[in-house]
Structure 1
């Protein structure tokens, strides 16, 4: 019968496609894991920075902050705290993030005007962080285990930084995004650009990372990160400077209680 003659080729084609996808998924996950490993092992660091918010019309406003980051359990968990010190109306506002390899991250926001620590969870994670184009979700570590990755192809990096792996990644946990496209350079496994697609499948935002510098002879960090919101025309740029590594941070310095004393 004709049907029986067609059945075997169709099974072979389907099996081949499934096998190819599995291989691309494995390759994508391995690339993400290697990129994560390349940035691990720093111990702890402190850094200063500023945030520039731009409206669709081009008006700007600035904010200044300091941040601290601590690795725990051999890099399988981290604690990160960002505290704003200027201008006055935002001074003392702090964001604390506890990141984990095996479960969803936890975040808290401290608002000094209300003397209140607020846990960020559920739909709140997709909300705007202090009025910027970065959401709370965008402010967490890029843990490989928090996404399912699929390698799509290698191609020229979008910002001219050589050749990049292009990965499609899907959040494992509840997210404001349906998919993300990630470009990681093949040379040093540095994130160059991320496109974020919302739950409706629209290209919502693009994050560009550039001006990388190497610290301690090993750790690459971008000096500038710009998030553009394609739906509103707004953007936010984070500039980082004065990295200091191995400053002796302790876990009790990055807790909810410590947030209230971090002004």
Structure 2
């Protein structure tokens, strides 16, 4: 009996080592690929509450709808529904996967026209939040590979720690650090550093839920560590693989 137990323990030990070696053998690019592949849905739709906190802790709340569609051109649409001063504001992102070129558009009802966001404007704050326009498109599509090159800093069976080096010249972060959960291949924390290598933003992803074989964080907190402000996004009414008309993702739709 002792011999059998010893053999079983030895087998479990070897199996554990093999799993650890397999996890640690992944490159940074392979981890980013796993994150991208973990999202199996062709389309996604959700309602969001965005809470904006100033440095004093005062909060303003906004309601919005978010829709995303995969394809040769990756499409994202965000529309604000309340309060009245931002209702009707909409953001559209179109990324050509063959060239990684991305077009961003913002519609402001007070102006009644669509404005294209380009160059350094992509680093501007999205409608007064702590997210930049580039942050928004990366998080919505989990398309880190299109914007960053990754190196592994540390790894275990439970998580990877990556260093993210921007490949998009429009990104003004010096670099980022990302903690990735290996059980569901999703980021759980991201840090972004400014050009002086000082911590600028911290992103926490929480309350993960599996919906139609897709894991999604139902709460994302973005904190500006230098200003003391933060933005909390809470996702509800999450749906995957629903029918979304391509006409939704056009500047004509924004101006309807």
Which residue of structure 1 aligns with residue 44 of structure 2? 45
TM-score of the superposed pair, with normalisation by structure 1? 0.82
Cα drift, residue 237 of structure 1: 0.3
Structure 2 residue 76 is matched with structure 1 residue 80: yes
- Report if the CA contact (8 A) 1:53-1:235 is conserved: yes
Q: How many residues align?
A: 227
Q: Secondary structure at the match of 1:249?
A: coil
Please list every run of 5 or more consecutive structure 2 residues that lacks an aligned counterpart in the other structure.
1-23
Q: Which runs of 5+ in 1 are unaligned?
A: 1-23, 156-161
1:113 is paired with a residue whose SS is coil
Distance 1:243 1:201 in 2: 36
Measure the CA separation in 2 of the matches of 1:56 and 1:106. 32
Question: Which whole-Å deviations, capped at 9, do the CAs of 1:179-202 have from their partners, x for residues lacking one?
Answer: 010111111111101101112221
TM-score, scaled relative to structure 2: 0.84
SS at match of 1:57: coil
Deviation at 1:168, TM superposition (A): 0.4
> Pairwise mapping of residues 105-116 of structure 1 onto structure 2 (< 5 A)?
105-116=102-113
CA distance in 1 between counterparts of 2:218 and 2:245 reads: 25
1:123-134 maps to which residues of 2 (within 5 A)?
123-134=120-131
Determine the C-alpha separation between the residues in 1 that align with 2:126 and 2:160: 29
Pair 104,26 (structure 1): closer, same or farther in 2 beyond 3 Å? farther
Question: Which structure 2 residues correspond to residues 31-42 of structure 1 after superposition, within 5 A?
Answer: 31-39=31-39, 41-42=40-41
SS at match of 1:90: coil
**Is 1:104 paired with 2:104?**
no
Shift of 1:26: 7.1
Residue 29 of structure 2: SS of its match in structure 1? helix
- 1:15 corresponds in structure 2 to none
- What CA deviation, in whole Å up to 9, does each residue of 1:45-101 have, x standing for no partner? 21101100001111111000011111113xxx4201000010001010001111344
Tell me which residue corresponds to 2:166: 171
How do 1:172-191 and structure 2 match up within 5 A? 172-174=167-169, 175-191=171-187
